[in-house]
Structure 1
Amino acid sequence: MAKIIYTHTDEAPMLATYSLLPIVEAFTSTAGIDVETRDISLAGRIVAALADFLPAEQQASDDLAELGELAKSPEANIIKLPNISASMPQLKAAIKELQDQGIQVPDYPDNPSTDEEKRIRAAYDSVKGSAVNPVLREGNSDRRAPAAVKNYAKAHPHSMGAWSKDSKTNVATMGEGDFRHNEKSVVLDAPTTVTIQHVATDGTVTPLKEGLKLQEGEVLDGTVMSAEALDTFLADQVRRAADEGILFSTHLKATMMKVSDPIIFGHVVRAFFPGTFARYGDKLEAAGLSANNGLAGIFSGLESLDGGAEIRASFDRELAEGPALAMVNSDKGITNLHVPSDVIVDASMPAMIRTSGQMWNAKGETQDTLAVIPDSSYAGIYQAVIDDCRANGAYDPTTMGSVPNVGLMAQKAEEYGSHDKTFEIEAPGTVQVVDENGKVLLEHEVAKGDIWRACQTKDAPIQDWVKLAVTRARASETPAVFWLDPERAHDRNLIEKVERYLGDHDTDGLEIRIMTPIDATTYSIERIRRGEDTISVTGNVLRDYNTDLFPILELGTSAKMLSVVPLMNGGGLFETGAGGSAPKHVQQLLEENYLRWDSLGEFLALAESLRHLADSDDNPRARVLAGALDRATETLLNEGKSPARKVGQIDNRGSHFYLALYWAQELAKQTDDAELAEAFKPIADQLTQAESTIDSELLAVQGSPADIGGYYRPDDAKAAKVMRPSETLNGIIDALSKA
């Protein structure tokens, strides 16, 4: 039987699954397709990773590892929903919830001393940050706005804030001492195994990472961010924000860059409150209240700390005396520095640009902002967009072009700062990468507190990336631009490979360029204003940035992008969009039983998954289902049946009902499969006749608190009851499944 794997993830996408999946299972069963689920949620990953410390009856299979192996096979057909890339506060909150539910996972050991505590910490650290995507992404990324979505955005434009030529909003980034300026890179001419080691000033050698296997042709990078240069830069930016009378904000990637960016975030917190940390830093550290975890964790810990009120008063005093600080939630007093995972650069920067280049201040008003992005590797792309908006005004969604993306990410390519090759240096000296013959491949001088990192990019994914770029450029008849900077050591090596591998393909008649990220941004936005499309061909980090930046400006959200990952061994991975606003959606559901999560990404991914299955499994009925689903999705958009925002309006569950209605109607009238059409005519009739009843049942539950039994690990029965409140709809769908 043909099989699709549908992932059980976190927050709003996970809740939406309780409503949508029964519909998907019922409809696809008519084509002999079995839809199975695998749990890759944060809670599920914790339970799997800590299996050795749990009683047998509480252990669970490692679904992520299983899917990682499946992704390497031609049979893979995986629909991957957004999951939590856990920061430390999120990880600890999930641990506590599991413990409260009776799951006997141990506490996270902040300062492990025994071998067992070190094992526990290593297990927990394996699920932090971007732990899922690198495992599943055995192919490169193809993300674009489907024609139906783009046309809808043009016909129903989202709001765009007006820009002033006098806007003081800018990006601040380091000019020296950061990852970009200190980068070194080497291409391996033969397979080898390397050791990353720290050599202290007294000659003591401490291995940091051993047994790292590298392939022939692999690109290996190493770089370091100077803690001293970072602190000097941050202090300057705090003063600059105060002098210019604008908000101070920082924009990092503390989820994907799970090792480096929380450390940088801690430096920002200390720079904003220098007096408090000078006076009380040792006491805070002794109490385990780390700046790396943000103000929320510190303030919570101060409540039970001797002298905590005095320390809190010091924080409040510096907050009042310093520059205005950007807010995540003005009403609740949640600042830009409260939680490292609250302000993720790829989502927060385009949202700011869309809102006239402004963020919220403590009074709940928007204000010009100094966006502090310490590492200069990609900060310039946002400055280029800000400069363009300041000069030319906001973009017009009714006329603007599109910037689809082909992203290099296969086999953990360019996984910067998020893995076991990133270290906070404990003593001055050098960090070396040494091969099995004792040859030093890379070397940096380091000081205490510096952040050193390495990353790998294998050759086969680079070849596949170039091939995918050429394929997409020809299929869409669109210029393609490789965003590569010859001043960066890593990019110089990639430029050489790209130029070589382009020669393996027919590029006649295609416009393919290599440009620096800043020049590529300028080129792309000039074309956007003319209504022209440009494919951005980027590395892994810029893939993340661009597939939020441009969709948020074009479509109002990145959740409406089609995201296909053609796996290198022939399978398919179909991603469903970003999950950045998912926590707020869950909060609204718990308070008002209203879920405004838009499952459009899931609809688009499912259609592509069905097409892939039609080809790979010779299942023509799957193709009929896919075509009907696409037409149903377009009808849903045109009829305004996407989730709204407020109680009393259609929400996620209502949009799922209308998808089922329109999908059944399309299947009932299609002419490619008479038997399937005949089977769906009564389903379409039942759903059509029951429309008002189902609408009433769905609306009736809104407005009161909802109990789902847990945030990170809901109770299945409770969550299903909340997300499937229409008995009429349930009866029709369940009958189809049984039939």
Structure 2
Amino acid sequence: MDKPDIVYTKVDEAPELASASFLPIIQKFAAAAGVSVGTRDISLAGRIIAAFPDNLTDAQRQEDDLAALGQLVKTADANVIKLPNISASVPQLTAAVAELQAQGYAIPDYPHSPSTDEERDIRARFDAIKGSAVNPVLREGNSDRRAAKAVKNYAQSNPHRMGKWSADSKTHVATMGGNDFRSNETSVTLSAAQAGPARIEHTAGDGTVTVLKDGVDFPAGTVVDATFMSAKALSAFLQDQIAKTKDAGILFSIHLKATMMKVSDPIIFGHAVKAFLKPVYEAHGDALAAAGANPNSGLGAVLEAAKSAPNADEILSAIDAAMDANPPLYMVNSDKGITNLHVPSDVIIDASLPALIRAGGKGWGPDGNEADAVCVIPDSSYAAVYDEAIEDCKAHGALDPATAGTVQNVGLMAQKAEEYGSHPTTFEIPADGTVRMIAANGDVLHEHTVEAGDIWRSASTRKAPIEDWVKLAIERQALEQCEAIFWLDADRAHDAELLKYVRPMLDEAGVADRFQILSPREATKISFATIRAGDTSIAVTGNVLRDYLTDLFPILELGTSAKMLSIVKLMNGGGLFETGAGGSAPKHVQQLIEENHLRWDSLGEFCALGESLKFLAQVKDNAKAKVLGEAVDAATQGILDHDKSPGRKVGQPDNRDSHYFFALYWAQALAEQTDDADLAAHFAPIAKALAEGEDAVTAELAAVQGKPADIGGYFQSDPAKTAAVMRPSTTLNEIIG
């Protein structure tokens, strides 16, 4: 694999469309400093193609870029700008396969119920692509996420709209609190004797032993957790919440992460679909199963499959009756009838709940009106964070972005730390019995009595990432000199094991008095008080909370999580620069295709680019790259100061306009700087041409809006068609080349 100075990832949906416009600008400017910028394909379509080379022609095959990047990030040479990619649910995966097949790729169908060795092999390849498959491979370091200073200043000067909270709002969080993953968790730190390949086995009531997973290799010092959620308790909880929601007269919503938690959460989602359609499944469950209805894929999949059942009219009528008898559902799209239960990847907890809190606790109902809602989070591990946030807003009103301080995050995520969803150690239990995890030396690490249908899962966190995480927290607190909190609950099994590392390290560094150690609920309460006072707090968290909090607080503070500065200091010396959170914005793509307007905001890419160039300057001793990176900061500030971020509606300036103005401000900053006369001379005529061409460029960009755009594919667009759509200004193209 070639090693350009900077690798810019090829991804999906809105960020990839934006790259078609922005990347040529980056490459043009970087070349002047002798910096090469290459691309590597980690898109969903690209990963599918790489997984099935034997099915494809020589022209269709492509390298497994994710695997290659996985090796690169373990080296000191790594400098990767990582854009948001699709974490595929099964519906997204099957849709991508269908598109590739239509484009002539002989990709096999996704086998929902594999019965042959060939089908099991195909399923295993697809399962390696599902869910949060990219981030665990690339994140060979821990996370440093915060709002860039320019972005925070702009948000305070130009506060986004916040919904009004009422003290008597009926919106609330509902969680199991018992017989769930949180309450059943056990955790152990492996001794040297226990290190090595462990196995997970299920012993049924009749004594039959089934090895669920073998050869799960753990080094000494690894924190290994295991837990399960009772299917019976989950079903009873969901039925109870449906009844209570109807009595309260509010919307029903469930909030999961079926993309990251790619095995457990789709199953939980399926339980919610079946609970909402309980009388339908009691009467027609066998017929729905025979028709291929999979509730784990959502209500939409059930409705579609029901149409092919022999008694379709009867089943569809029963579904309508069940929907009418239940409380109204929180809607993803009221106009199109897309409910909270339609597709598991449509309502992702770290985006959906902050948006609801920002909106004053209101969600859209099927009648097209806003209403209070119950927010069902079945597992209680982190439900308290959202519950406390909602209660804080009820008590104190909405957060004021004009005066709010900020919550930064130092997140433990290196080497797949706490990756419940991405580890192949989650199982839906086939029969009553016992699940044990057995260490290499024969010690029983974990043992749980389970019933058929229960969801059992394990995860691990290695010693080196934990120690690196604590050191990063100490470093960030020393730089910020502000409040810092380890969001760890001493009464939770996993957190108690982490604290055996955290407390001695803080003591040894002599900084224990600079940090608080609080449960997630208490940490949420204090953090809200801190930012309401206009101050800064550093949340030092595990992986899942990193994911949740770096959406929650930015969405409240900035209006979006896509504008976060996200730096991963790789453990072997390289750098991974993520372009903020915020997902890959499928609705933005829909708008582009329908109206040729892309409202994706590349501010996260701007921030990541500046940090990447400055990091390159440091490790490669490239003074020109440093000048380039500092000029990126000036250009980013220019975008904010001159309000050149994309508008939401067709006819307003969009993503392409923001890239033109970024190029203008970047060139002007380089032309005016005094640290490198050669760069200043090089960019002076470019800055002049960009400034003189403003009227022509903006007119050419505006002229294409309002009409449908053809990009030649959704998951794998046509490069020439996409370039034509995303680079429609002849004037700008001639300047950039």
Common fold: TM-score over 0.5 = yes
Contact 1:400–1:530 (8 Å) recurs in 2: yes
Residue 337 of structure 1 is aligned with which of 337, 341, 348?
341
Determine if the alignment matches structure 1 residue 614 to structure 2 residue 614: no
2:75 — aligned with what?
Answer: 73
2:549 — aligned with what?
Answer: 546
Q: 1:415 to 1:188 in 2, by over 3 A?
A: same
Paired residue secondary structure (1:369): strand
2:459 — aligned with what?
Answer: 455
The alpha carbon displacement at 1:89 in A equals 0.3
Q: In structure 1, how many angstroms separate the alpha carbons of the residues matched to 2:208 and 2:198?
A: 18
1:692 — aligned with what?
Answer: 695
The alpha carbon displacement at 1:208 in A equals 0.5
Contact 2:78–2:575 (8 Å) recurs in 1: yes
Paired residue secondary structure (1:33): coil
Residue 204 of structure 1 is aligned with which of 198, 208, 211?
208
Q: Which deviates the most, 569-578 or 291-300? A: 291-300
Paired residue secondary structure (2:183): coil
2:242 — aligned with what?
Answer: 238
1:517 — aligned with what?
Answer: 520
Contact 2:12–2:584 (8 Å) recurs in 1: no
Contact 1:222–1:454 (8 Å) recurs in 2: yes
Q: Which deviates the most, 495-504 or 150-159? A: 495-504
Q: In structure 2, how many angstroms separate the alpha carbons of the residues matched to 1:312 and 1:28?
A: 58
Q: In structure 1, how many angstroms separate the alpha carbons of the residues matched to 2:440 and 2:158?
A: 60
Q: Which amino acid aligns with 2:396?
A: N
1:660 — aligned with what?
Answer: 663
> Where in structure 1 are there 5+ consecutive unaligned residues?
735-739
Contact 2:131–2:422 (8 Å) recurs in 1: yes
Q: In structure 1, how many angstroms separate the alpha carbons of the residues matched to 2:566 and 2:312?
A: 48
Q: Could you tell me the TM-score, scaled by structure 2's length?
A: 0.98
2:679 — aligned with what?
Answer: 676
Q: 1:619 to 1:2 in 2, by over 3 A?
A: farther
| Structural RMSD (CA) | 1.0
Paired residue secondary structure (2:328): coil
- Output one character per residue of 1:462-497: Cα deviation in whole Å (capped at 9) or x when no partner: 000000000000111112100011121001001111
Q: In structure 2, how many angstroms separate the alpha carbons of the residues matched to 1:175 and 1:214?
A: 30
Q: Which amino acid aligns with 2:469?
A: W
Q: In structure 2, how many angstroms separate the alpha carbons of the residues matched to 1:161 and 1:686?
A: 44
2:5 — aligned with what?
Answer: 3
1:737 — aligned with what?
Answer: none
Determine if the alignment matches structure 1 residue 493 to structure 2 residue 497: yes
2:716 — aligned with what?
Answer: 713
Q: In structure 1, how many angstroms separate the alpha carbons of the residues matched to 2:313 and 2:575?
A: 55
Paired residue secondary structure (1:403): strand
* Length, aligned pairs only: 733
Question: Sequence identity of aligned pairs in percent?
Answer: 61
Contact 1:352–1:359 (8 Å) recurs in 2: yes
Q: In structure 2, how many angstroms separate the alpha carbons of the residues matched to 1:51 and 1:595?
A: 34
Q: Which amino acid aligns with 2:11?
A: T
Q: In structure 2, how many angstroms separate the alpha carbons of the residues matched to 1:292 and 1:420?
A: 18
Q: Which amino acid aligns with 1:325?
A: L
Q: Which amino acid aligns with 2:581?
A: A
Contact 2:15–2:584 (8 Å) recurs in 1: no
Q: Which amino acid aligns with 2:10?
A: H
Paired residue secondary structure (1:470): helix
Q: In structure 2, how many angstroms separate the alpha carbons of the residues matched to 1:135 and 1:470?
A: 26
Q: In structure 2, how many angstroms separate the alpha carbons of the residues matched to 1:268 and 1:254?
A: 13
Q: Which amino acid aligns with 1:503?
A: D
Q: In structure 2, how many angstroms separate the alpha carbons of the residues matched to 1:125 and 1:62?
A: 16
Paired residue secondary structure (1:416): coil
The alpha carbon displacement at 1:175 in A equals 1.8
Q: Which amino acid aligns with 2:138?
A: L
1:94 — aligned with what?
Answer: 96
1:149 — aligned with what?
Answer: 151
Residue 289 of structure 2 is aligned with which of 264, 285, 289?
285
Q: Which deviates the most, 130-139 or 112-121? A: 112-121
2:141 — aligned with what?
Answer: 139
- Output one character per residue of 1:697-726: Cα deviation in whole Å (capped at 9) or x when no partner: 000000000000100000000001000000
Determine if the alignment matches structure 1 residue 417 to structure 2 residue 418: no
Residue 599 of structure 1 is aligned with which of 602, 612, 615?
602
2:478 — aligned with what?
Answer: 474
Q: In structure 1, how many angstroms separate the alpha carbons of the residues matched to 2:312 and 2:82?
A: 44
The alpha carbon displacement at 1:259 in A equals 0.4
Q: In structure 2, how many angstroms separate the alpha carbons of the residues matched to 1:309 and 1:266?
A: 22
Q: Which deviates the most, 38-47 or 416-425? A: 416-425
The alpha carbon displacement at 1:283 in A equals 1.5
Residue 48 of structure 1 is aligned with which of 18, 27, 50?
50
Q: In structure 2, how many angstroms separate the alpha carbons of the residues matched to 1:496 and 1:293?
A: 40
> Where in structure 2 are there 5+ consecutive unaligned residues?
none
Q: 1:431 to 1:13 in 2, by over 3 A?
A: same
Q: Which deviates the most, 555-564 or 49-58? A: 49-58
The alpha carbon displacement at 1:201 in A equals 1.0
Determine if the alignment matches structure 1 residue 576 to structure 2 residue 569: no
Structure 1 residue ranges, 4+ long, deviating more than 4 angstroms after superposition: none
Contact 2:84–2:584 (8 Å) recurs in 1: no
Paired residue secondary structure (2:313): helix
2:132 — aligned with what?
Answer: 130
Residue 255 of structure 1 is aligned with which of 250, 253, 259?
259
Pairs within 5 Å for 1:28-427:
28-190=30-192, 191-427=195-431
Q: In structure 2, how many angstroms separate the alpha carbons of the residues matched to 1:578 and 1:310?
A: 44
Q: Could you tell me the TM-score, scaled by structure 1's length?
A: 0.98
- Output one character per residue of 1:106-163: Cα deviation in whole Å (capped at 9) or x when no partner: 0111111111111001001100000000000000000000110000000000000011
Paired residue secondary structure (2:152): helix
- Output one character per residue of 1:154-186: Cα deviation in whole Å (capped at 9) or x when no partner: 000000001111100000001211000000011
Determine if the alignment matches structure 1 residue 586 to structure 2 residue 589: yes
Contact 1:140–1:408 (8 Å) recurs in 2: yes
Contact 1:110–1:288 (8 Å) recurs in 2: no
